[in-house]
Amino acid sequence: MAALDRVKVLVLGDSGVGKSSLVHLLCHNQVLGNPSWTVGCSVDVRIHDYKEGTPEEKTYYIELWDVGGSVGSATSVKSTRAVFYNSLNGIILVHDLTNKKSSQNLYRWSLEALNRDVAPTGVLVTNGDYDREQFADNQIPLLVIGTKLDQIPETKRNEVLTRTAFLAEDFNAEEINLDCTNPRYLAAGSSNAVKLSRFFDKVIEKRYFLRDGNQIPGFSERKRFGGGTLKSLHYD
């Protein structure tokens, strides 16, 4: 158990959607008692069994990097955040089901993390408009999670769920809707838990296994998506 391999997954979303509660739930299977404002980045670790139940079962560490902030921040804040986006293997996009703007901002969050909106003058090249073709060759697995499901009244639930289904389709990702203060949404065996497990498996596969099934030995990755300066500040 000493040296397991690891993958890095970013957890992105607007302020106040519940990223810290979600990460705590994923890593400790307990509800976070006193959520407070995240300054900078908070990291937590989850131990995941890849291909559970099969002979190829292997245990990995999944690092969940919860980066706080607002998507409309100044350029200097964005460049400070960018240091956390090195060598990432997966992204979890979190939005608040009761707040439509947080879902719309997910497009900008994903662009920021995948480094597509950096131009020499710092001006947003894509204008914030989403272009599905840009994501066609995206190799990094995405997962969309909607929080605060309990605060939506029963009557509006269908409308909200159809909207989020479209959102997830845009990202070519699975979606999970839950309430971070209730562990039963991620109980073992539920469809949400299966989706989560599949997502982590996909992340691990993309990182460690080439298409033809060969395993890449773990060494420090220096790729940064989209080019840019080479910053190898990540030690294995």
Q: Toward another protein, which CB reaches closer, 43 or 124?
A: 43
Beta-carbon contacts of residue 72 (< 8 Å; ≥ 6 apart): none
- CB 45 to another protein: min, Å: 4
Check: CB of residue 86 under 8 Å from CB of residue 231. yes
Residue 156 found at the interface with another protein (CB under 8 A): no
Instruction: For residue 38, give the DSSP letter.
Output: P
Binding mask 190-229 for another protein (x = CB under 8 A): ----------------------------------------
| Distance from the Cα of residue 235 to its chain's centroid | 21
Beta strands in the chain (DSSP E): 5-12, 41-50, 58-67, 90-96, 142-147, 174-177
- Mark the segment that binds another protein (CB under 8 A) among 93-101, 160-168, 180-188, 208-216: 93-101
Q: Are strands 58-67 and 41-50 parallel, antiparallel or unpaired?
A: antiparallel
Residue 16 found at the interface with another protein (CB under 8 A): yes
- Mark the segment that binds another protein (CB under 8 A) among 81-89, 152-160, 183-191, 216-224: 81-89
Q: Toward another protein, which CB reaches closer, 100 or 223?
A: 100
Q: Give the footprint of another protein on residues 50-79 (CB under 8 A).
A: 61, 63, 70, 72, 74-77, 79
Backbone angles phi, psi at 79, to 5 degrees: -70, -25
Q: Give the footprint of another protein on residues 96-155 (CB under 8 A).
A: 96, 98-102, 105
Burial of 35 (0-12, 13-18, 19+ CB in 10 A): middle
- CB 31 to another protein: min, Å: 14
Residue 42 found at the interface with another protein (CB under 8 A): yes
Q: Toward another protein, which CB reaches closer, 122 or 226?
A: 122
Q: Toward another protein, which CB reaches closer, 102 or 192?
A: 102
- Mark the segment that binds another protein (CB under 8 A) among 12-20, 139-147, 155-163, 206-214: 12-20
| Distance from the Cα of residue 62 to its chain's centroid | 12
Helix axes 100-113, 157-171, angle to 10 degrees: 10
For residue 63, the cross-strand partners are 8, 45
6 vs 100: CA distance, rounded Å: 34
Instruction: List residues near another protein by CB under 8 A.
Output: 1, 4, 14-16, 27, 37, 39-47, 61, 63, 70, 72, 74-77, 79-80, 83-84, 86, 96, 98-102, 105, 231, 233-235
